[in-house]
Amino acid sequence: MEQLHPAFKADTKTRILDTAERLFAADGFDRTSLRDITRDAGVNLAAVNYHFQSRDALVAAVISRRMSPVNARRIELLEKFEAQPGGPTPEQVAEAFIVPVMEAGAQFENVRPMMGRMLSTPNEFLKRLFETHLAPIGARFLEALGKALPGVSQLELMWRLHFMAGVMSHIIAFSRVLPMMTNGTCDLSDTKAVSARMITFVAAGLRASSPLQESV
């Protein structure tokens, strides 16, 4: 893992970010107080409101730090696949959607559970933040799906985009409990293998003929 123990070195701002990320991942955004964060980070309580302006702004900073590179990588992959002669395949769209998240999860210990929290916390502020980060990504992937599955209606594509998102969100959100729930059977440490499983499942679902409009 790349992260240092926050008790050593690193400036206050980074210590707060790292500790907040870890605690948000472990306990959720709503149930982690500034007192928890500052105590664990070994900094003063007021440091949060000094470096960031508010608790909400800290949450936004924690999320942006990890989400922005992931979404940039997603777009990058998508453009690469779209430039290829056969256009993007459903497998490639799924890969561009899933792999950057899984790779970030492998690189930074807390990213997967933290994103899981983000995807699943009812907090209204988080919902807005989520929209900010994911609305443009959703639109971009809808467009790519249209190229990968010509003839499928926009409505159907929209649904399947959300089904794909559901498969990934669930695995992300359950990344901490999944090994326990399955008695160690489901192991997320082999990122490539898990991604491959997901891509296979999702691509097959994307390719399935529509249940309501059989024709084209």
Partner DNA sequence: CGATGAATCGAACGTACAATTAAAACATAC
Partner DNA sequence: GTATGTTTTAATTGTACGTTCGATTCATCG
Nearer to DNA by Cβ, of 36 and 103: the residue is 36
> To which residue do tokens 């992931």 refer?
70
Minimum distance between the CB of residue 130 and DNA, rounded to whole angstroms?
19
The C-alpha angle 104, 108, 113, rounded to 5 degrees, equals 80
Contacted entry of a second copy, DNA, none for residue 46, CB cut-off 5 to 8 Å set by kind:
DNA
Contacted entry of a second copy, DNA, none for residue 207, CB cut-off 5 to 8 Å set by kind:
a second copy
d(CA 63, CA 130): 9
Residues 196-215 that bind a second copy (CB under 8 A): 196-212
Task: Go through the chain and tell me how many residues it has.
Answer: 216
Judged by CB under 7 A, does residue 76 bind DNA?
no
Contacted entry of a second copy, DNA, none for residue 39, CB cut-off 5 to 8 Å set by kind:
none
Give the number of other Cβ atoms within 10 Å of residue 16's Cβ: 26
Q: How many helices and strands (H and E) does the chain possess?
A: 10, 0
Residues 25-64 that bind DNA (CB under 7 A): 32-36, 43-51, 54-56
Judged by CB under 8 A, does residue 33 bind a second copy?
no
Q: 62 Cβ partners below 8 Å, 6+ apart?
A: 17, 20, 21, 24, 114
Is 92 in a helix, a strand, or coil?
Answer: helix
Is 123 in a helix, a strand, or coil?
Answer: coil
Q: Tell me the window of 48-56, 77-85, 97-105, 176-184 that interacts with a second copy (CB under 8 A).
A: 176-184
- The correct pick among 70, 121, 141, 149 for binding a second copy (CB under 8 A) is 121
Total number of residues that touch a second copy (CB under 8 A): 56
Give the number of other Cβ atoms within 10 Å of residue 140's Cβ: 17
Tell whether the torsion through CA atoms of 178, 180, 184 and 188 is positive or negative. positive
Judged by CB under 8 A, does residue 35 bind a second copy?
no
Minimum distance between the CB of residue 16 and DNA, rounded to whole angstroms?
9
Tell whether the torsion through CA atoms of 193, 171, 132 and 205 is positive or negative. positive
Residues binding a second copy (CB under 8 A) = 27-28, 30-31, 117, 119-123, 127, 131, 135, 138, 154-156, 158-160, 162-163, 165-171, 173-174, 177-178, 181-182, 185-186, 193-194, 196-212
Residues binding DNA (CB under 7 A) = 11-13, 32-36, 43-51, 54-56
